[in-house]
Structure 1
Amino acid sequence: MTSTRLPGKVLLPVAGKPLLHYHVERLQASGLPLYIATTSNATDDPLAAFAYTSALPCTRGDEHDVLSRYQQCAAQHELDVIVRVTSDCPLLDGEVLAKGVRDYLLANDPHLYLSNVLERTFPRGFDFEVFSRELLEEAFEQATLPSDREHVTPYIHQNRSGRVRFRHIMRPNDRSSYRLTVDTAEDFELVRQLIESHGAATLSADSLIALLDQHPELVALNAHIEQKKL
């Protein structure tokens, strides 16, 4: 809720519902259990309230040590496999995520890190990462840099242990220049228009990308926004 570029962004209303509602609804299409891991700050009480009314388990912890919140949540719920998504991606396609998880499970490799973020071909805003509890616990115990703790997975995807293996989920056509995450007012305006005027809340990733291909004026709304660096 204390986002520096767009405070309260995940609960901003679109068509009478908060962005987080759309995010959760689309993630539920994956068939996977969902957990919210937010801070213990009073400013994030509205997120805890959202979790309660949505019947979602909610773990609360340190604002800056997001890695510890993930570890706490995974331990509390005895999770063997973790899928990381961020709450400012309200149009992430749950079915794409589910396919990634199926690929991960078929590999049967606790040292595998599977994602669509290291080799980018999906628009920003479809990001997900899949990794084992074993890798999470190792990162929790070994990672010391503030950026490691804040961004959860750098210790894993930079292969600091030397034991991590990688699989990249990629599209045949690169659309990584498109931006469907919500970090600024311009990002929000694009997502608002997509949901309210183009039915984006029910569109697949491929359909959303095709829509952006057909409407360069929509892409232009936030094409100039630069993603924050790690």
Structure 2
Amino acid sequence: MMADNIVIVVQARMSSSRLPGKVMMPLLGESLLSRMIERLKMIRHKALVVIATSEESADDIIEQEADRIEVPCFRGNLNNLLDRHYQAGKKYNADTVLKIPSDCPLIDPQIIDQVLDFYVEHPGEYDYVSNLHPATFPDGNDVEIMTMACLERTWEEATKTLELEHTTPYIWENPESFSIGNVTWDTGKDYSMSHRFTIDYEADYLFIKRVYEELYPARHNFSCNDIISLLEQKPEIYDINARYAGVNWYRNHMDELKTISSDQTKLTF
């Protein structure tokens, strides 16, 4: 069974606080954003990929990149990502919205399909399904799926700054109000705090660039397992950004989050 109209919303902006312009950094002759979209288009499920950026003039370049790679672009509020996701979903008539952040250029299409498979195999059972609560996959394989009705209710009810900025916390912080599912890594392992495939720092970019240089020429759709095998063969690549493994946005909101414990983020590094 397939979900009705699936829209993958990729949030992207140039004004990243720690690594400005990261989505336009080069990866083998293309932008990081373009390489990530390329991976999203490898999924088995039928879905529309939309880049959602802000209305700020600094993000004109992202709209231009979206036009160049022929992906729809929605422009909305800079800091209210919840509104940006909701309005994008509404514009493109989504029944189901996937939230995929633009800082995951190594995301495995098979993992996206795995989470989608779980969602569509349980029709009407879940408002929200992710692989993040708790997370087990290497950081940078973030998949969050929600019904449009769930997203709309969240948009209507959420008020806290972190709920607006991060789109989905209102959902998973209120499990009594939503039916929530989680997909864990079928290896039985938990690499969420030990392996970092996302980008927030210069070292992350150097790591991702090296992974692409090693794996992409031979196999464009290299997998999460391919990356792990590479790191086992060449541990010096793992070491490039190892100090940031386990670092995520949770650490700045531990006093506000009820469903996140301190073992799910590195507080000092």
Q: TM-score, normalised to structure 1's length?
A: 0.94
Matched, 1:213 2:232: yes
* Mapped contact 1:13–1:19 kept (Cα < 8 A): yes
* Mapped contact 2:128–2:179 kept (Cα < 8 A): yes
Q: 2:155 aligns with which of 140, 155, 164?
A: 140
Matched, 1:174 2:190: yes
1:196 is matched with 213
Give a deviation string over 1:65-90, Cα, whole Å, max 9, x none.
01001110111111001111000110
Structure 1 stretches of 5 or more lacking a match? none
Give a deviation string over 1:25-79, Cα, whole Å, max 9, x none.
0000114210111100001111111111122111111111010011101111110
Give runs of aligned pairs for residues 45-194 of structure 1, distance below 5 A: 45-109=60-124, 111-159=126-174, 162-172=177-187, 173-176=189-192, 177-194=194-211
Shift of 1:215: 2.5
Shift of 1:201: 4.7
Give a deviation string over 1:123-146, Cα, whole Å, max 9, x none.
111111111111100100000001
Matched, 1:14 2:27: yes
Shift of 1:17: 1.2
After superposing on structure 2, the runs of 4+ consecutive aligned residues of structure 1 that deviate more than 3 Å are none
Matched residues, number: 230
SS of residue paired to 2:185: coil
Matched, 1:3 2:16: yes
**CA distance in structure 2 between the partners assigned to 1:112 and 1:136 by the alignment:** 9
Q: 2:197 is aligned with what amino acid?
A: L
Give a deviation string over 1:145-187, Cα, whole Å, max 9, x none.
0100000000111126523232323232222210010110000
Over 3 Å counting, the alpha-carbon distance change for 1:209 and 1:184 in structure 2 is same
Structure 2 stretches of 5 or more lacking a match? 1-13, 254-269
Over 3 Å counting, the alpha-carbon distance change for 1:75 and 1:224 in structure 2 is same
SS of residue paired to 2:145: strand
* Mapped contact 2:133–2:182 kept (Cα < 8 A): no
> Which moves more between the two structures, 170-179 or 75-84?
170-179
* Mapped contact 1:89–1:125 kept (Cα < 8 A): yes
**CA distance in structure 2 between the partners assigned to 1:96 and 1:202 by the alignment:** 12
> Which moves more between the two structures, 120-129 or 213-222?
213-222
Shift of 1:103: 1.6
Q: 1:47 is aligned with what amino acid?
A: I
Give runs of aligned pairs for residues 35-46 of structure 1, distance below 5 A: 35-46=50-61
Kindly report the root-mean-square deviation, in angstroms, between the aligned alpha carbons of the 2 structures.
1.6
